[in-house]
């Protein structure tokens, strides 16, 4: 008896995903570029010491890249006169230059050592892991062999990256579309234990919040006053650390803060009130090891999401430009 069309499609899709994943392995560069991880580690250490927010920036860069079309370094591609790339859509404009810079430095060093071998996608994945570890986070295994995307379009971004004003239903569904469950979503949100957010992302919680409240009543009042001082009288868009207690350390303090009304973003603070997410917030606030294990599992899962292998992608010579454009600068991205 023939399988229904939908069943055949699902079987084919799952088979392709499994085959794609199986092509990745931790020893991918052992023969072709044996100094790969050592070179990245040295670049990462130097950059993080010079610019301490690099770890948080790289983590955001990695996640924003992977959530749109998979971990293929499409976010690293620059716009040109024919096409606006992912990095220039509004939600990605706040991604820090230091995050792009650490990848560029690693790519330059690796091109000198083993030209045309290591993809930008693999560099971003490993650099992010090493930076997380450097600031106190867990080490996790990364399978290698990703290829870089041929294209990048700003129009593809919306609906794939969570915004602070989204409802918990919307965010949960967004993660579910990437095959990430609620527990994995909460663990990944814990990445906000490092890094910062601009006032524009949370200032609506501080001033004229509603007809009955001047500020979001679920926020700690003392915290509100400090944030008002930071954001209220500045013409430039200032920024605050996501974790007010240990901003430079990757730990479980982010979850402890949520229990005290010290969540900076509305989407973060909402997790302590939603019955689907609250148990995991409470678990990770109490048990840092549990958080680290869950975060490790989720990051390993994200790192292989819709990866490209073989002719599905390429190894870019420069991370910001696809190889065809380096030969023909008048060619449109993706054409």
Binding residues for Ca(2+): 65, 68, 70, 72, 74, 86, 193, 243, 246, 251
CA distance 322 to 80: 11
Radius of gyration of the chain (CA): 21
- Residues labelled as active-site residues: 64
CA distance 61 to 65: 6
CA distance 258 to 278: 10
Give the residue among 257, 269, 202, 208 at the shortest CA–CA distance from 231.
202
CA distance 200 to 28: 42
Instruction: Give the C-alpha distances (Å, rounded to integers) separating 25 from 29, 142, 240, 252, 315.
Output: 9, 8, 39, 30, 17
Residue positions in the annotated binding site for heme b? 192
Contact present, 193 and 254 (Cβ < 8 Å): yes
- Dihedral sign from CA coordinates of 54, 56, 61, 66: positive
233 burial (CB, 10 Å; 0-12 / 13-18 / 19+) is exposed
Our CA dihedral for 8, 9, 14, 16, rounded to 10 degrees, sits at 100
Contact present, 306 and 68 (Cβ < 8 Å): no
CA distance 323 to 268: 39
Residue positions in the annotated binding site? 65, 68, 70, 72, 74, 86, 192-193, 243, 246, 251
Q: Residue 109: which H helix or E strand, with range?
A: helix 97-113
Beta bridge partners of 197: 240
Residue 218 token pair: 């679920």
CA distance 313 to 249: 35
């Amino acid at each position: 008896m023939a399988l229904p069309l939908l069943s055949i499609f699902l079987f084919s899709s799952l088979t392709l995903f499994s085959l794609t994943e199986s092509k990745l392995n931790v020893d991918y560069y052992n023969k072709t570029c044996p100094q790969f991880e050592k070179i990245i580690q040295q670049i990462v250490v130097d950059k993080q010491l010079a610019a301490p927010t690099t770890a948080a920036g790289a983590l955001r860069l990695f996640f924003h890249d992977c959530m749109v079309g998979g971990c293929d370094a499409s976010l690293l591609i620059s716009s040109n006169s024919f096409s606006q790339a992912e990095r220039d859509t509004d939600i990605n404009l706040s991604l820090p230059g230091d995050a792009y810079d650490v990848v560029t430095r690693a790519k330059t060093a690796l091109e000198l050592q083993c030209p045309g071998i290591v993809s930008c996608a693999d560099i971003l994945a490993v650099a992010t892991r090493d930076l997380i570890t450097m600031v106190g986070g867990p080490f996790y295994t990364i399978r290698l062999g990703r290829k870089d995307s041929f294209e990048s379009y700003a129009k593809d971004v919306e609906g794939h990256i969570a915004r602070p004003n989204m409802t918990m239903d919307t965010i949960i569904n967004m993660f579910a579309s990437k095959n990430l469950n609620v527990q994995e979503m909460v663990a990944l949100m814990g990445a906000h234990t490092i890094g910062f957010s601009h006032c524009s992302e949370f200032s609506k919680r501080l001033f004229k919040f509603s007809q009955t409240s001047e500020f979001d009543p679920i926020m700690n009042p003392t915290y509100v006053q400090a944030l008002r001082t930071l954001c209220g009288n500045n013409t430039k868009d200032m920024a605050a650390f996501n974790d007010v207690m240990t901003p430079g350390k990757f730990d479980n303090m982010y979850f402890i803060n949520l229990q005290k009304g010290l969540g900076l973003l509305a989407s973060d603070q909402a997790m302590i009130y939603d019955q689907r997410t609250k148990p995991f917030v409470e678990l990770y606030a109490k048990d840092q090891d549990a958080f680290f294990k869950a975060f490790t599992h989720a990051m390993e899962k994200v790192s292989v999401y819709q990866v490209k292998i073989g002719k599905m992608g390429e190894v870019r010579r420069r991370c910001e430009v696809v190889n065809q454009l380096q030969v023909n600068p008048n060619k449109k991205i993706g054409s």
